[in-house]
């Protein structure tokens, strides 16, 4: 099996499973990876049947990671987020480009190179998007933010993280000062939009519900 492809599957299963590591459907994986459902099934069967099974798979119940699969997913996620941080903070890559560049590099760096990056950056806990960087032993800080779409009252909030999957949206968010740690005033409009303002002098950003979940927030109090 292609190592890069395996890593992508494991990382996607980990991300889609969420903090509770719920089972992930083949349909959700196909959408995430842009792969045909038949190819998804074939790969999951191979991952489950490998000498050290990387997933637990049942065709009608979905898939979740085995202990070995989870370790590998966290290792790749650590590589990815350290690389994003390095590209952004040291090499001055634009925020909208770091995800794709890290995707290309994450499978190939050595453990020594990973350690050098980590040390150079001062052992960061979060990447430029606000996502937790797994520790060397796989431990991660507990998620304390929630999707913007889940707020029930207008008010003051702090940006916890922003999705790294849409470069155009990332660029737009940054232009409006909506970055991890920024304090926001958020109101909901009758048009199923969320109106975000970072500071009194900034221009408000109107986000439709369909993409507002890309921003995670927590209470400012």
What is the per-residue pLDDT across 88-135, written as a single tens digit (0 to 9) for each?
999 999 999 999 999 999 999 999 999 999 999 999 999 999 999 999
Share of the chain above pLDDT 70, in %: 100
CATH number of the domain enclosing 51:
1.10.10.10
Number of Cα atoms under 13 Å in the Cβ half of residue 127: 27
Q: Is residue 99 one of the residues assigned to a domain?
A: no
| Mean pLDDT value of segment 69-87 | 97
Phi, psi of 189 (to 5 degrees): -100, 160
**Domain-embedded: residue 162:** yes
pLDDT of residue 201: 75
Average pLDDT, rounded, for the chain: 94
Sign of CA pseudo-dihedral 147, 148, 152, 157: positive
Is 91 part of any domain? no
| Amino acid 41: pLDDT | 93
pLDDT band at 64 (very low <50, low <70, confident <90, very high): very high
Number of domains within the chain: 2
- The 3-state secondary structure of 168-188 reads HHHHHHHHCCCCCCCEEEEEE
Burial of 52 (0-12, 13-18, 19+ CB in 10 A): exposed
Whether pLDDT at 147 is above 90: yes
- Decide if 121 is inside a domain: no
CATH of the domain at 199: 2.30.30.90
Domain range holding 215?
Answer: 146-219
Predicted TM-score (pTM) of this structure = 0.92
Question: Is 174 a domain residue?
Answer: yes
Match 């560049």 to its residue by tokens: 101
Rounded to an integer, the average pLDDT of 140-154 is: 92
Computed from CA positions of residues 94, 99, 100, 102, in that sequence, does the dihedral angle turn out positive or negative? positive
Residue 129 included in any domain:
no
Q: How far is Cα 25 from Cα 6, in angstroms, rounded to an integer?
A: 17
pLDDT in tens, 6-62: 999 999 999 999 888 899 999 999 999 999 989 999 999 999 999 999 999 998 899
Q: Where among 23, 49, 65 does a domain terminate? A: 65
Query: For position 182, what pLDDT does the model report?
Result: 95
């Amino acid at each position: 099996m292609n190592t890069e492809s395996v890593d992508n599957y494991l990382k996607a299963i980990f991300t889609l499973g969420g903090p509770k590591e719920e089972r992930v459907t083949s349909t959700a994986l196909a959408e995430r990876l842009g792969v045909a459902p038949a190819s998804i099934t074939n790969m999951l069967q191979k991952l489950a049947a490998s000498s050290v099974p990387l997933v637990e798979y049942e065709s009608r119940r979905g898939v979740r990671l085995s202990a070995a699969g989870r370790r590998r997913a966290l290792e790749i996620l650590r590589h990815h987020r350290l690389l994003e941080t390095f590209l952004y903070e040291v090499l001055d890559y634009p925020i909208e480009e770091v995800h794709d560049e890290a995707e290309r590099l994450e499978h190939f760096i050595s453990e020594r190179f990973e350690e050098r990056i980590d040390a150079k950056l001062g052992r960061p806990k979060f990447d430029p998007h606000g996502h937790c960087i797994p520790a060397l032993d796989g431990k991660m800080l507990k998620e304390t933010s929630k999707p913007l779409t889940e707020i029930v009252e207008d008010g003051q909030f702090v940006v916890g993280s922003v999705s790294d999957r849409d470069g155009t949206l990332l660029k737009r968010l940054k232009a409006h000062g909506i970055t991890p740690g920024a304090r926001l005033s958020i109101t909901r409009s009758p048009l199923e939009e969320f109106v975000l303002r970072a500071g009194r002098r900034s221009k408000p950003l109107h986000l439709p519900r369909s993409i507002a979940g890309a921003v995670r927030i927590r209470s400012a109090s």
